[in-house]
Every structure is written in structure tokens, then in C-alpha cells.
Structure 1
Amino acid sequence: MKSAVETLSPTRAKLTVEVPFEELKPSLDAAYKQIAQQINVPGFRRGKVPPMVIDRQVGRGAVLDQAINDSLPKKYIEALQENSLEPLGQPEVEVTKLEDNEVLEFTAEVDVKPTIELPGYEGLTAEVEDAVVSDEDVEEQVQALRERFATLADVERPAADGDFVVLDLKATQDGEVLEGAEVTGMSYQVGRGGMLDGLDEALTGLTPGEEKTFSSELVGGDLVGEPVEVLVSISQVQEQELPELDDDFAQLASEFDTVGELTDDVRVRLANGKRLEQAAAARDAVLEVLLEQVDVPLPESIVTEELNARRQNVEQQLAMAGITMEKYLEDEGQTVEEFEADLERRVRDAVAAQFILDEIAKKEELGVDQNELSQHLVRRAQQSGQDPQEFANHMFEHNHIPDLVQEILRGKALATIVETAVVTDASGNAVELKNLRPDGTIGEPEAEVEDTDDTAAADEAATEETDEKA
């Protein structure tokens, strides 16, 4: 077999493959054998029909077609390997020459991984925001803890922000009550939001037994986004009574004896969380610095496919949250054009990052062992809310394991970059990454965080970008 490659663009190649007929013989023999099992010819047992008879009865062309269909994928893969090409999709194949008993020639156009000239990636410098825990942050967490242990008491006054009310609600359109848009005896906290626009305003100042009508839009169902008239009434107003913030509360809500110990623990936990957020930001910042140093040609077909997938993901999340795209863009202060431009920028950066990290993984000769793959499978299953065994079975059955292996390798490649990077916060302090533990604490310099934990964090930063805030 002979093959030649023509570079159509930095991300697309055209292979021309010439296959001598002697290399097609196994496929031709298999085609004759299979056809012999399918036809009945007087004087011959099924499966014992000679090739010459098959040529007369069925036609040589049918045999050639079957043999070519069998051998062409194998020859295509051989040509890819021979020319060190990594395909990124399905090829466009065309048989350009077929001379019986002489030669088969075909071409295959396919998107391929671009050739990347890696810059030096050791000692990259980046800056992130300070990880600061304010008194307000601590107070907010302590307040949330107090609310978990709060009690409700009936009050004889109009509903105010923060009160709990028992309400009845129904939405109508053109005077008709809409199916599924009616609730009775529902408990709701005034000011919580997330239900219907205008509801909190309508409830504020309402007393038990009173009702009020307001205009809004449905946030779910087949009529999502449709304008409706909503009638709401309340039968009960309850005030939230918080427990005193004292040592008794500390002993009730935690393992600590004093409120001071409880507050200190809240501050430590918040600091650990901020440190993890800062570490994720540091990984993103380091990767962004590397991206700025490399010009990566991107296959437009891959970019388009990823754009469509992410748009669909945004739409699904918004639908689950009961929010229209128009409402989401309004809340974000974005136009459709700005949203699309931001989404495309993120997609292009993500695809470029994958190519760069793949190249680094290859250069560093990184590998994946069975334990790392198993832990990654479990972690991905947990993220998607699936049973780990069922998730693993699905991945194996649909041949997605190579994709998961690539995810792990990209995570390792990013960890390799980050380990040597110099990251500081806005105040000029060094950001500790190498000895950062999964719970946000800092280990001793000689203590190493397990590779699987580093890989998980790095992989998440490298391969998952959140484009939606819904």
C-alpha cells in the first residue's frame, strides 16, 4: 500500500491511498464466502458456490463493493498511522480509481489535530484575587445556621419581607385557569424569589384573608414565558424567630461548647473554601497565560459542534430552572450578540487548551493506570448522579473510555504546568498550590497530595468551563 498526504489547511488533510489488489485478496475471499452463503445455485450446495459462478450469477461488481467496504476502513487507519495523523472526525472518502485485479485508489479528507509548537511552560507567572474571609462572610454563615434552627410563630399583621406565608395561587389567561398553574396551601417565604415575578411585591402588606391580582409570566410548562394574570391570597402569616447566638446555641448546632469556638470554626471553613476557589482560579489563570503564548489553529467543524452542544446545555439548564433565554440575558445584562460572542470565545479557548494539554501530555510521556481510571469513572458518575457501575458499563459499551483517559491525561498535563508556576494574589503573596489538600488545608512541604486528587481538580479546571449562570 502506498499513501500520500496533502495538507489542505493546518487542521485538514487529504490522504491519497493506493492499494494493490493482492492486499485486497483476504477481503475478496471473505466477500465470496459470504455471498456464497446467501444465494442458491442449482447444482451447488449453499456456501460451496465457486467464485466464477458467483461472478456470473451476482456480478463481479457486487463482490468488489463488499470487499472494498470491508478493507477500506482498515487501509484508511493504516494510512493515518503511516503519516502520523490524528483524526478529529469522520473522513470524507471517495474511491477515485478501481482497476479490477490491478489497483484500488481512494482519497480521504479529514480534520486532524494541528501541529503545535509548544513554548516553555515551566515557571509561568499569573495573578489571582486575594482569598479574604470578611466578618460579613462569617456573619452570613452563622446567620444561615441560626435560620436552620429557627421556629415559626403566627403573627396578626400584614406580611413583610422574610415572613413565611401560607398561600393559594392560580394563574389565568383570557379568564381561563391554566392547568398546572394553581396551588393551594403552599408555604412560601416572602422575598425568597425564584417563583413568579411580582409575587413578592404582591404578598408584601397582604393580611390573612386578603387577595391580590398581579401580572406575570409563566416560568414552566408548555406556556413558559406567556403573560398571565395571577390571583394570590394568604391564610396565615408566620414570623421567623431565630435562636439566641450564645453558648447554648453553639452546643445545639455543633460540637463546640462556646459560640466563640463555633465562629472560629466557621471562619476556618470559609478560609479553606476560599483557598480552594483561589486554587481553581490559579489553574485557570496559568492556563490562560499559556494560551496567550501559543497560536493554535482550530478546526471549525469541532468549534461548531462544541458551540451547538454548549448552547443546548444552556437551554436545558434554563428550561429546568424555568427561565427563558430572554429573561436570562436580561438578568445578565447581555444582548444575544454578546452572549454568542462570549460563548464562542470560551469554546475556542477550551478547544485550544485541549490540544495544548494533549501535546504536553505526549511530551511528558504521561500515562494512566487502572486505579486512576477507576477513580475517574466513579467521580464522573457522582457528578452526573448515576450509579458508578452503570456509568462504567455505559462508557465501555459505547467506547468512551479513550475519551476518559484523555481527560485524565489533560488533568495531569495541567497539574504539571501548575506545579512549576509562580502564582501570587493581588497583595503579592504566593499562592500555595503544590501542598494544597482537597479539603482546602495546607499540608507540610514534604507531604504530597494524592495524584488522583490533583488530577481531579486539574481535570475539572482544564475540561469544564461553566458558560451559564442559571
Structure 2
Amino acid sequence: MKATWEKIEKNLGVLEVEVEADRVSVALDKAFQKVVKKVNVPGFRKGKVPRSIFESRFGVESLYQDAIDILLPEVYSEAINHTEIFPVDRPEIDVEQFEKGQVFKFKAKVTVKPEVTLGDYKGIEVPAVNVEVSEEELSEELERLQQRHAELVVIDDEAAKNGDTVVIDFDGSVDGVAFEGGKAERYSLELGSGSFIPGFEEQVVGLATGDFKDVTVTFPETYHAEDLAGKEAVFNVKVHEIKRKELPALDDEFAKDVSEFDTLDEYKEDLKKQLASRKEQEAKGAKEAAVVDKVGENAEVEIPEAMVEGEVQNMVRDFDNRLRSQGMNLDMFLSFSGQTVDDLKGQMKDDATKRVRNNLVLEQVAKAEKIEATEEEINKELEDMASAYKRTTDEIHNILAANGSLGSLNEDVTLRKTVQFLVENSKEVAAQEEASAKSAKKATKKATKAESTEEAEEATEE
């Protein structure tokens, strides 16, 4: 096989491939074995038609497409490895020649992983983060714990307000006609949660137990059910119950109920340590993200749209998996939020672009600094996974190998090491220092631009 690669613009190029006639013959043999099982020829049982009879009746050309389908993926993969390119999208294939006894020739227009020109990536300045726990933060955490352990108490003599849970019947219609999913009995709805169509919950606020009301709302124009999108609906609502959270008192009994401590003071001291540890982890993550973002901003790279679209698909799939772990799914979420999949993808696109950009830049930093995952680090990763899933390391290794994920594991470890390298070579500055540094950098750019303009003007005058 012969393969050549020529870049034609940015991240696009043409892969030209020639495959030996012998391999074409083998592919035609395989295509015949596949097709002959399906054809009917008088005097022969299915699958028993001789090759010569088949070709005289149907022509050898009838095997060409199946032979191409068999041979092309194999030789395309070989051509990629031979030319050492990294495609990021499906190729546009143009078959130039495919005949029995002849060389197989094709061209593939391929979008490849872009080249990255690194900017400054050492000595990146990031703002220092205070990880001390304030009394206000401790109080807020205690309040969250109170909310979490609150009891819902039935309220009989007050109207519903935001934060209350109302038990309601509702029956919706559009132009007097009921629609699917528009009716429920004794449904528990937390007011202010935003889980219903915009405008619904606000109109239930102020109702008392036993009240009836016609709630009028308009479905969003982007509502997932096209027959309801943009239409006005009327819901007949009846309030059965109103429940309000009753917070437990912050005392020693509360501490005993929610922890292993006997007094509130002991619990608060332990909680403060937990919050400090959490803030340290959050600060670590924030610092890593800030460093990577700045290194990404300093680099130059043109990202193919196909890579962004692929990352968006990954993000949608991950989001769906998280929803399923919470007893929901993507369709239910879209139904409740009144969004479409395209709306969701649009919201994710900027983050997807940043992720792709940062990963490309991190890969380039790893190459520049010769950062690689060692065998010991990979083994440690396998051991950690084995421990988490209660399997042996060999089982985890075999599962990853079967799924073709061992390479991804290597990449993940390498990227983490690269992020660690960037953080270790960064510099923490106070917020005021960072602002001054930004101003100085901006002023330098402005001065440089002004000098360039003056030089250009002088050159024009000359």
C-alpha cells in the first residue's frame, strides 16, 4: 500500500492511497462469499452458485461496492498510521479506481487535529485564595444542615408562599382540549423550584388550602412538544395541602442527631475543619482551572468545528447519565424545562470549545516538556480503579483493553501530570497585584500597537 498526505488549508488535507491488486482480489473473494448467500440462481442452492456462473450472470461489477466496504476501512486505518495524521471527523472519500486485477485508488479529504502554537505557559499568575473559614460561612453551612433536616409541617391557616410544598390537582387544556401529561392528582410541588412551566408556580403562591384557581400560562416557543410550543394553556388547580419546612433548633440535641458529637460546640469545631478541607480542595481545583485557562488563552490554535460538536455530544451524554443517576432522564428534563436538545447544545458550546482548546494546549505542553505517564503511574491508576470497583487489576486491565480505553487512561494520566506541572510553575499573587499586572500588560500591548502604527505611518510617508 502507498499513502501520501498533503495539507491544503488549516486543518484540512487530502490523503491519497493506492492498494495492491492482490488485496483487491481478496476483497472481491470476501464480497462474493457474502453476496452468494443471498442470491437465487435456478439449478443451484443458495450459497452454492459457482463464482464463474455468478459473474457471468450478474457481472463482477456487482461485487465492487461490497468489496470496497470490506477493504476501505482497513486500508484507510493503515494509511492514517502510515502518514501519522490524527483525523477528528469522518473523511470525504472519493474512489478513483476499483476494478478486478487493478490497483485500488482513492482520495480522502480529512480534517485533522490542529497544530498548537504555545504562548507563555510557565510563571502564570493566578490570584491567591483564602481558605480560612469565616463565622459567616460556618453559619451558612449550619443553616443548610437545618434545611436538610427540616420537617414538612402542614399549614392550615396561611396562604402558600415560595419555599412551601403544595399538594395539588391540576388539569390542563389548550383551546378547551386536554393534552397528554397535563393532568395529575395530589401532585407535590415546591413553589419557587422552577420545575413547572414559567408562570405556573407564581400564580399558585397566595392560594390557601381548599382554594381553586384557573392558572393561565404560555408554553415556551422552544417547548419540546411542537403541538404545544408557544400556545396558551389553562390549568384548573385545586390546593389540597400546604406544607412548610420547620427548622430544627441549633442546640446539643441537633448535634447528636446529625453527628457523632454530644455538643453543638464540638460539632461546630469539626464542621469548621470539614469546611476548611473542602475550601482547600475547591481552591486547588480553581487554581488548576485558572492556570489551564490562561495557558489556553496564551496559545494559538484553530479548532475544527467537528471537534467542538464531538465534545458537545459527550457533554450531553454525560448530562443524561447524571440525570439517570438521579432517577430522571434527558427527555424528562427537556419536558420540565421547556427546552430542546438544540437549546441544550447551544448552552454547552462555549464550554465545549474551551475544553477542546485546553486539552489540545495541554497535549502540546506535554510534548514540549516531554511529560509522559510512567508504567508505575498507570499501574497505580489500575489499582485505584480495581479498589473502587472491587475487581482485580487484571480484570480492570482486560475490560479497558476490550473497550479500547487503555490509550485514554494513558492520556488522562499524562494530562493530569501536565496540569500539575503548570500549577507547580505558576505564581500566586494577591488580587490587587493581579489587577496591576493586567493593567501593565494592557498598557504594554497598547504602547506596542501605537509604536507599530507610528512605524507604519512613517513607512507610508517614506
TM-score range, shorter chain: 0.5 to 0.7
Paired residue for 1:17? 17
Paired residue for 2:371? 364
Taking a change above 3 Å as real, the CA distance of residues 100 and 236 of structure 1, as seen in their structure-2 partners, is closer
Taking a change above 3 Å as real, the CA distance of residues 177 and 374 of structure 1, as seen in their structure-2 partners, is farther
Paired residue for 2:25? 28
Greater Cα shift, 136-145 or 210-219: 210-219
Paired residue for 1:213? 214
Instruction: Tell me how far 1:286 sits from its aligned partner.
Output: 1.0
2:281 counterpart of 1:267: no
Structure 2 counterparts to residues 61-460 of structure 1, below 5 A: 61=61, 70-97=70-97, 101=101, 103-119=103-119, 121-127=121-127, 130-131=130-131, 133-151=133-151, 157-159=157-159, 161=161, 164=164, 167-173=167-173, 174-175=175-176, 180-186=181-187, 194-195=195-196, 197-198=198-199, 201-217=202-218, 222=225, 223=228, 226-237=231-242, 240-307=245-312, 320=333, 322-325=336-339, 343-362=348-367, 363-366=370-373, 369=378, 372=381, 399=404, 402-403=407-408, 405-424=410-429, 426=431
Instruction: Tell me how far 1:127 sits from its aligned partner.
Output: 2.7
Instruction: Tell me how far 1:418 sits from its aligned partner.
Output: 2.7
Alpha-carbon displacement from aligned partner over 1:426-455 (angstroms, at most 9, x marks no partner) = 3779xxxxxxxxxxxxxxxxxxxxxxxxxx
Q: Aligned equivalents of 1:179 and 1:41: distance in 2?
A: 56
Q: Is the 8 A contact 1:169 1:184 kept in 2?
A: yes
Instruction: Tell me how far 1:7 sits from its aligned partner.
Output: 0.9
Q: Aligned equivalents of 1:104 and 1:184: distance in 2?
A: 68
Question: Equivalent pairs: percent with the same residue?
Answer: 25
Task: Give the length in aligned residue pairs.
Answer: 403
Greater Cα shift, 366-375 or 80-89: 366-375
Q: Aligned equivalents of 1:317 and 1:36: distance in 2?
A: 44
Q: What secondary structure does 2:13 align onto?
A: strand
TM-score normalised by L of structure 2: 0.67
Measured on the aligned residues, the alpha-carbon RMSD in Å equals 4.8
Taking a change above 3 Å as real, the CA distance of residues 155 and 70 of structure 1, as seen in their structure-2 partners, is closer
Paired residue for 1:457? none
Gaps of 5+ in 2: 321-328, 390-395, 435-462
Alpha-carbon displacement from aligned partner over 1:178-205 (angstroms, at most 9, x marks no partner) = 5544444455555555345555554555
Taking a change above 3 Å as real, the CA distance of residues 279 and 47 of structure 1, as seen in their structure-2 partners, is same
Alpha-carbon displacement from aligned partner over 1:307-344 (angstroms, at most 9, x marks no partner) = 56667988985851611249x99xxxxxx9xx95x754
Q: What secondary structure does 1:298 align onto?
A: coil
2:4 counterpart of 1:4: yes
Q: Aligned equivalents of 1:221 and 1:4: distance in 2?
A: 47
Q: Aligned equivalents of 1:124 and 1:350: distance in 2?
A: 19
Q: Aligned equivalents of 2:2 and 2:384: distance in 1?
A: 43
Instruction: Tell me how far 1:245 sits from its aligned partner.
Output: 1.9
TM-score normalised by L of structure 1: 0.66
Q: Is the 8 A contact 1:157 1:237 kept in 2?
A: no
Taking a change above 3 Å as real, the CA distance of residues 364 and 225 of structure 1, as seen in their structure-2 partners, is same
Taking a change above 3 Å as real, the CA distance of residues 54 and 88 of structure 1, as seen in their structure-2 partners, is same
Q: What secondary structure does 1:257 align onto?
A: coil
Q: Is the 8 A contact 1:11 1:114 kept in 2?
A: yes
Q: What secondary structure does 2:337 align onto?
A: coil
